[in-house]
Amino acid sequence: MSENILKIIMMGLDNSGKTSIIYTLEQRFASIYALKPTVSFTVREDFKILGIPVKIWDLGGQKQYRDEYLSKKGFIFGETNLIFFVIDIQDPKRFSEAIDYFQRSIDFMQKIGLSPKIIVLLHKTDPEIKDTKKIRKNIELVKTQFAQLPKTIELDFYETSIYDRENLSKAFVAGIFKALPKTAVLQEALNEFMKNSDSLAVMLLDENVLILAEASIDTTARNICSISGPYFANMTEKMIKYNLMPPSVLEAQMEDGWLFHKPIKINGTSRFYLVFFTKERSLDKINKLLPSITQEISNLIKYVV
């Protein structure tokens, strides 16, 4: 039995974008266009974030299902660690309905003794409209409505869109970090690693190509890592999917430094990707430090709530 699995629930009104978010995280972009409303709920058990197996419950948001979840004596919500509450920011007419569902869900969970961490996704904040007056107004409006609720839990808001996967990833990783407090230590480990390896920037991604942590001494170095890192991780993941042997290290000489990409295996199975940008060619130094950082990451992800 795989114990200690993190249980994540995606909830919100129908049409708010929950299933699309899951598909975007899985990079199943083609499937998004054929999406139908979710019937009742679905459970995905094959996700790994931060190397941690997570279960994602996608609760269809149509009215009849909403009422059902809140009447089933907590079977749906039992042992939930983290909830993403998704709101369609382009649909202000339904804000009240969404917030009412939110509050009823919180009340219900408190009644059955649950207090999961909650992240609110102000979703469909698409890149090309996110700075328009209309969207800013909607965001302000919905936040005001949330602020009027009885303050029993701490909420974090993220503006997301399926057209901005990086932002969506950030919200997801932040959620995991909220549910797993120890992962803040991961950032510390990466800072330390950057110093010890004389790097200008270091980045860690997981096998979903989510950026888990990054450390850098300047923006140029950071940008080099964050632009190239996801491409390399993506390429490697695809090669694995097609049973091809991916590179064990990729090294590129740049105008003003060296870039390294290295997949690492943790606990034998989980894949992570490390990206480094260094002034001098220092792969030897990095290789020497790898066992210790690998061990550290491994220790961190073993700890699940």
User: Binding residues for ligand GTP, per CB under 6 A?
Assistant: 12, 14-20, 32, 35, 37-38, 60-62, 123-124, 126, 161-162
271 binds, among ligand GTP, Mg ion, none (CB under 5 to 8 A by kind): none
- Interatomic CA distance for residues 98 and 89, integer angstroms: 11
Min CB(20)–Mg ion separation in Å:
8
Asked if residues 162 and 32 have their Cβ atoms less than 8 Å apart, the reply is yes
User: Residue type at 256?
Assistant: D
CB of 108 to Mg ion, least distance (A): 21
Among Mg ion, ligand GTP, none, what does residue 62 contact (CB within 5–8 Å per kind)? Answer: ligand GTP
Q: Is residue 258 a contact partner of residue 280, using CB atoms and an 8 Å limit?
A: yes
* Token pair for 275: 């990206």
226 binds, options ligand GTP, Mg ion, none, Cβ within 5 to 8 A by partner type: none
* Choice between 66 and 261, CB closer to ligand GTP: 66
153: burial class by Cβ within 10 Å (0-12, 13-18, 19+)?
Answer: middle
Q: Which is nearer to ligand GTP, 15 or 196 (CB)?
A: 15
Instruction: Tell the smallest beta-carbon distance from residue 161 to ligand GTP (Å).
Output: 4
We find the least distance from the C-beta atom of residue 83 to ligand GTP, in angstroms, to be: 14
Residues within the interface to Mg ion (CB under 5 A): 18-19, 38
- Measured from the CB atom, the residue of 86 and 212 that comes closer to ligand GTP is 86
CB of 10 to Mg ion, least distance (A): 8
* Binding site partner of 15, from Mg ion, ligand GTP, none, Cβ cut-off 5-8 A by kind: ligand GTP
Residue 208 C-beta: closest distance to ligand GTP, Å: 18
16 binds, among ligand GTP, Mg ion, none (CB under 5 to 8 A by kind): ligand GTP
Category of 20 on φ-ψ map: left (φ > 0), alpha (ψ -120 to 50) or beta:
alpha
